[in-house]
Chain A
Amino acid sequence: MDLLKRKRAPITPEAWEQIDEEARRVLKLHLGARKLVDFSGPHGWKLGGVNTGRLNAIHKGPVPEVQHAVRDVQPLVEVRAPFVMKILELDYAARGANDLDLDAVIAAAERVAFAEDNAIFSGFKDARIKGIIEASPHAPIGVNTNLDWPRAVVEGKDVLRAAGVNGPYALALGPKAYAELTADSEDGYPLRQRIEANLDGPLVWAPALVSGALLLSTRGGDYELTVGQDLSIGYAFHDRENVELYLTESFTFRVLEDTAAVLLRRA
């Protein structure tokens, strides 16, 4: 029996297939950072930490005239989002239903995607993750109106280039920024197309990026997401009517080059 204990769940293979597929669809839509940063893994549950290669010196060791230092390791954080499904509803899949009520799966997938992206973009102190935004030494670039986005992107590219960070440059957009760029136009020319013409990397929808948009290099070697157990659905328990499942993963994130991103902050 593996850690997810899926075989203990009173769920038919047909229902599992629909649950997994719906979770997969939502996660791929909502996970923004995975479209931008380097990915290491999946390494499985047994990976507990990432070797940073650093030492933390112990100034007063127990034995005189012997120097001590502790190897620095960044631990993985495990996230788990529980959700409850009705067994009767899930059983319909075995009878041929392909339109199960999977709202709970969707909500859990959105929560986990937000948790992962939020840790990567904004950091997660208790998990010892420093986010891309807090690590960046560049002052945020203000975006005063919706028509100000193209100028801010050009200014952001100048900032990165001046810091010696080459492209391709990608733009991760929070919900408000994405809506403005998609809906608005300048002299009849859509803002999104103006910005895309200025970028050699992708434009990515990132719901967890609530403070605006993030311009960053995707050349590689700057940001590393390490995944132990990749996103998976496990079984917790059930009664006569309901079964509780959970969406889980283990991961950590490291900023290797802090100058490779700049925040575009919408006023």
Chain B
Amino acid sequence: MLRAMSSENYHELPELLSEDTKNMHRALVSLREELEAVDWYQQRAEGCSDDELRAVLTHNKNEEIEHAMMVLEWIRRHSPTFDGNIGTYVNSKGPILQIEANQTGGGESSGGSAPQSASPSLGIGSLRERV
């Protein structure tokens, strides 16, 4: 039996999909695989009883993180929505849910998760068109 390829994981007929969507699918699948590998190496390293093997596994885990970030950067460059959200949340400061409340102007309706001092904004943010 042939092993399933990523192209067989499409949820729509491939002939209905653009090349851009197919490439994004490849990138997203690749990102998922890299992150799974990080998880696996993390667990193996922690469960390992040999120090040298643990060091190798940890090294490999860190390599997978690098691979994941390279793929994520490709995704960011090809998806304005990823780009916008990465710009908003990655390297941000303060409570993460407050950042979302500030973005959407929904600070008072965010289920009470935002701190009382959070002020709802009009959600203007950056108006620069993403190329």
Contact = CB atoms under 8 A, between A and B. Distances in A.
B1 interface: no
A35 interface: yes
Interface string B115-131: 01111111111111101
Contacts of A24: 122-124
B111 interface: no
A145 to B, nearest CB: 31
Contacts of A240: none
B44 to A, nearest CB: 39
Interface residues of B, number: 26
Contacts of A218: 128
B127 A229 contact: no
Contacts of B98: 44
Given A43-B94, A44-B98, A6 B121 contact: no
Contacts of A1: 116
Nearest to B102: A42
A231 B121 contact: yes
Interface of B: 87, 92-94, 98-99, 102-103, 105, 107-108, 116-129, 131
Given A42-B121, A230-B121, 18 more contacts: A6-B120, A28-B127, A34-B126, A36-B128, A39-B87, A44-B94, A45-B119, A168-B131, A229-B121, A230-B102, A230-B122, A230-B124, A230-B125, A231-B122, A232-B120, A233-B122, A234-B119, A249-B121
